[in-house]
Structure formats: structure tokens, C-alpha cells
Amino acid sequence: MSLDENIDLTRKLQHAGQTLVRLSRYGALGITPSRDNLQKAADYFESISAKLEPILKSVEATKSVQRVRPLGMRG
């Protein structure tokens, strides 16, 4: 995945999180969001999170390999 795609997915995840927070704040004010809106926001968040998971695993694997490498092998 390209850097632009990673940035786009991260922005979408951020937007989905902000939407979920906004919907939960409505509840704190006594305004009940519709189940449909809550479900759509949760589904969208889960969808984007699932797309980002392989990227995060790849970055974590690369990071752990870099930690294990002896100093003489770094370029």
C-alpha cells in the first residue's frame, strides 16, 4: 500500500472515531442517536480498522526486525 493510501485510511479512521465520539456525546446530553446511525458509524469504524490492521502488523514486524539487528548490519 502506498503512503497516500495509508494516510487516507488513517484519516478515515480518525473521522469514524470522531463520529462515534460525537454520537456518544449526544447520549450524554440526553439525545438518543438512532440505532441506524450508531450501527453505521460502528460498521464504518470496524471496516477501516480491519483495512489498517495488515499495515500495522507490517510496521510492527519491521520495527521488531530493526531492533534485533546488530549495530554493524544497519545501513
Q: What is the phi/psi pair of residue 74, to 5°?
A: -80, 140
Which pTM does this prediction carry? 0.65
pLDDT at 28: 87
5 — pLDDT class (breaks 50, 70, 90): confident
Q: Quote the CA–CA distance of 26 and 46 in Å, as a whole number.
A: 21
DSSP H helical segments within 2-75, as ranges?
A: 3-28, 35-68
pLDDT top residue among 72 and 53: 53
| pLDDT tops 60 at residue 75 | no
pLDDT tens column, 11-69: 998 999 999 899 989 988 999 989 998 899 889 989 998 988 988 888 888 877 766 65
